[in-house]
Amino acid sequence: MAYDVVGLGCACLDFLGIVPHLPDQDEQVWMSDSTQQGGGMVSTALVTLSRLGASTAFVGKIGDDMAGRVVKEEFNLYEVDSEHLVMELGASTSVSMILVDESTGQRTIMAGGSAVELLPSEVPAEMVASAKYLHLDNTNRQASLAAARLARDSGVPVVLDADTMSPPGDLEDLLRLTDYLIASKVFAKELTGLADPSAAAKALSCYGSTVTVVTLGEEGSYTLAGGRSFHTPAYSVDVVDTTGAGDVYHGAFIFGLLRGWKLEKTANFASAVAAVSCTRLGGRAGIPTLDEAVSFLRARDVEHFDFEDGAQDRNG
Ligand SMILES: Nc1ncnc2c1ncn2[C@@H]1O[C@H](COP(=O)(O)OP(=O)(O)OP(=O)(O)O)[C@@H](O)[C@H]1O
Ligand SMILES: [Mg+2]
């Protein structure tokens, strides 16, 4: 079967809790809410796409442990194909412990697990070549490069979530194979040395992406395409937890690309879907369905959001 979006990247398990304040050593605090949810940049973007109604498949490697089984179960729950999710014997799945400070909304994150990378030979070539989009993140570099080359040879556009903690080796090769580069402001600044998002996007676009986006948290996002640029504000919502907002933004952005929407509308939609996801604890619990996203937009932006205008309004 040909999928709308094939994603290759990391999958992990997040444990999240809301605490009145960060505990001191030997102190115990009571969590007012807690949850466990799958996470990871590409994984959560695929869950977003699936919630919105696109067909998706995840490719990656995790451990054959309890966390790995939960990750797999969640892909099934959200109807993300996980036939090419490799569960490696003896490896441990990446796990994050995330404490959300109730008074400030700030997050403290502890992450661990053994880095099990997918091998280039484990990339399902046919699945990648037949997808409408390939979505990648900073992980599994060699397999990502192999998949990106396959995609380029087959005319499949590559979307990259360029976030922090990227291993520098081969990074430029991956950027050169990227068509839609959506970077966090931290990554953009780290790589280009430029704090100004418009200058950073311009520098990033030199690697050859046709569309370059820098996301700016609650300050929205900045898009550059073919010499044209614009800012998209973030939507103001009652934020509970911003975990996964960037991942969700990527998924919703790709949904707009699949629909052939103009870039302004695509970025606006991504901003709305990401904002809604911030209203619940965890990276996935708050991801809206398409109907919920459209209701949110119509309630706030009814003049500008015409959901029905579809494939005819191509990017540009
Ligand atoms: N507090 C917020 N309120 C509303 N929207 C937000 C908020 N934080 C993020 N967003 C939306 O999500 C998008 C992506 O967020 P951000 O730039 O923080 O991603 P990131 O740096 O990749 O972080 P992460 O991957 O950890 O979520 C923003 O461009 C914005 O549209
Ligand atoms: Mg991110």
Evaluate whether 277 touches 283 at the Cβ level (below 8 Å).
yes
- pLDDT beneath 70: ranges in the chain: 165-167, 301-316
Of all protein residues, the one whose alpha carbon is nearest to atom 25 of ligand 1 is 246
Looking at the CA of residue 41, tell me the nearest atom of ligand 1.
25
DSSP of 170-200: THHHHHHT-SEEEEEHHHHHHHH---SHHHH
Q: What pLDDT was estimated at residue 164?
A: 72
**Residue 154 alpha carbon to ligand 2 centre in Å:** 27
If you take atom 24 of ligand 1, which residue's CA is the nearest one? 246
Residue 234 beta carbon below 6 angstroms from any ligand 1 atom: yes
* CB-ligand 1 contact for 159 (6 Å cutoff): no
Do the Cβ atoms of 76 and 56 come closer than 8 Å? Answer: no
CA neighbor of 152 nearest in space, from 169, 172, 175: 175
Query: Rounded to the nearest whole angstrom, what is the distance from the C-alpha of residue 243 to the centroid of ligand 1?
Result: 8
Where exactly are the structural domains of the chain? 5-21+31-162+225-301
Q: Which of 48, 96, 242 to mutate to test the pocket of ligand 1 (most atoms within 8 A of CB)?
A: 242
Give the model's pLDDT for residue 180: 98
pLDDT at 230: 97
Best of 215, 239, 300 to mutate for ligand 1, by most ligand atoms within 8 A of CB?
A: 215
The pLDDT of residue 207 is 96
Whether the CB of 241 sits within 6 Å of ligand 1: no
DSSP bridge partners of 84: 59
> Which ligand 1 atom lies nearest to the CA of residue 220?
29
Mark 53-82 as b/e (b = at least 16 C-beta within 10 Å). ebbbbbbbbbbbbebbebbbebbeebebbb
Q: Whose CA is nearest to atom 4 of ligand 1?
A: 275
Query: 66-77 and 41-52 are packed helices; what angle lies between their axes, rounded to 10 degrees?
Result: 30
Supply the pLDDT for residue 285. Answer: 96
- Judged on CB neighbours under 10 Å (0-12, 13-18, 19+), 226 is exposed
Output the CA 287–ligand 1 centroid distance in Å.
Answer: 13
Pairing, β 5-8 against β 133-136: parallel
Partner residues linked to 221 by β-bridges:
215, 232
Cβ atoms of residues 188 and 194 within 8 Å: yes
Per-residue confidence (pLDDT) for residue 313, from 0 to 100: 46
pLDDT at 116: 85
Which residue, among 54, 58, 56, has the nearest Cα to 43 in the 3D structure? 58
pLDDT at 165: 59
Q: Which helix (H) or strand (E) holds 225?
A: strand 221-225
Q: Are 27 and 17 in contact (CB under 8 A)?
A: no
pLDDT of residue 316: 36
Domain spanning 5-21+31-162+225-301, CATH class: alpha beta
Closest C-alpha to 213, from 147, 160, 155: 160
Smallest CA-to-CA distance from 235 within 280, 267, 189, 190 is with 267
The pocket of ion ligand 2, defined by CB under 5 A, consists of 163, 184, 246
State pTM to two decimals. Answer: 0.95
Q: Given ligand 1 and candidates 139, 165, 184, 279, which is best to mutate, with the most ligand atoms within 8 Å of its CB?
A: 184
pLDDT at 311: 43
Ligand 1 centroid to 245 CA: how many Å? 5
pLDDT for the residue numbered 166: 65
- pLDDT value for 312: 42
Cα–Cα distance for residue pair 128/120, rounded to 1 Å:
12
Closest listed ligand to the CA of 185: 1
